[in-house]
Structure 1
């Protein structure tokens, strides 16, 4: 069985002890500050935020959803181009590029259909 020399063991233990000491020196003040209770005062001069109506929320959701889907589809389209350009005749890489291109086209299709789907949801919930 391999035995660590006493000199190396002393170094390991002292290094570990310093690491534990540094960690304790950093965490103790933070824990002390978090444990002290303070009083919270409400600022009554600031009005409460207005709540949007359902059509406004769905319109905002539509814009975000279409933007995110279009961005992801564009990412897949760029990846497909990179895969295709770097394929060098490798059939596996060409198939990978075709798969990324297919995903990009599906993403663009879903991005186009997202407003229609949100209109259906808005009609169902009665907004």
Structure 2
């Protein structure tokens, strides 16, 4: 019986605390702008991420191309698979090299 009374009392106190509004105090310092970085910094960070991601994926395809080609054992389908992975790696490296140029175009469009 005592536990039930304690539970009801705790529930009543919690209900009162939730039901009674408390004052909210505004920050007198003025509006707060929540911008972490400027647009050129964000675009520069994006450029670094895109180049790193493309280079990592291209390196993965380059390793896969080498594995496919080395384990082909004379199988023309496996050799073609290796050649295809090598082409994909070269495209990925090309995009990684062109990422700064593409981001400069984006900077020109947004006016940064």
The TM-score normalised by the length of structure 2 is 0.70
Q: Aligned pair 1:109/2:86, yes or no?
A: no
What is the aligned-residue RMSD (CA, Å)?
Answer: 2.2
Deviation string for 1:9-56 (max 9, x for gaps)?
A: xxxxxxxxxxxxxxxxxxxxxxxxxxxxxx8xxxx8xx9864211100
Following superposition, the deviation at residue 108 of structure 1 comes to: 0.2
For 2:35 and 2:106, locate their aligned partners in 1 and report how far apart those are by CA, in whole Å: 23
Aligned to 1:25: none
User: Does 1:118 find its partner at 2:103?
Assistant: yes
State which of 67, 71, 74 in structure 1 corresponds to 2:52: 67
Q: Which of 48, 52, 66 is the matching residue for 1:81?
A: 66
Q: Normalised by the size of structure 1, how large is the TM-score?
A: 0.62
Q: Which runs of 4+ in 1 moved over 6 A?
A: none
Give the equivalent residue in structure 2 for 1:91: 76
Unaligned runs of 5+ residues in structure 1 are: 1-38
Classify the secondary structure of the residue corresponding to 1:87.
coil
Q: Which digits, 9 at most, give the CA deviation of each residue in 1:71-118, with x for residues without a partner?
A: 000000000000000000000000000000000000000000011000
Corresponding residue pairs, total = 85
Structure 2 CA distance for aligned equivalents of residues 51 and 66 of structure 1: 22
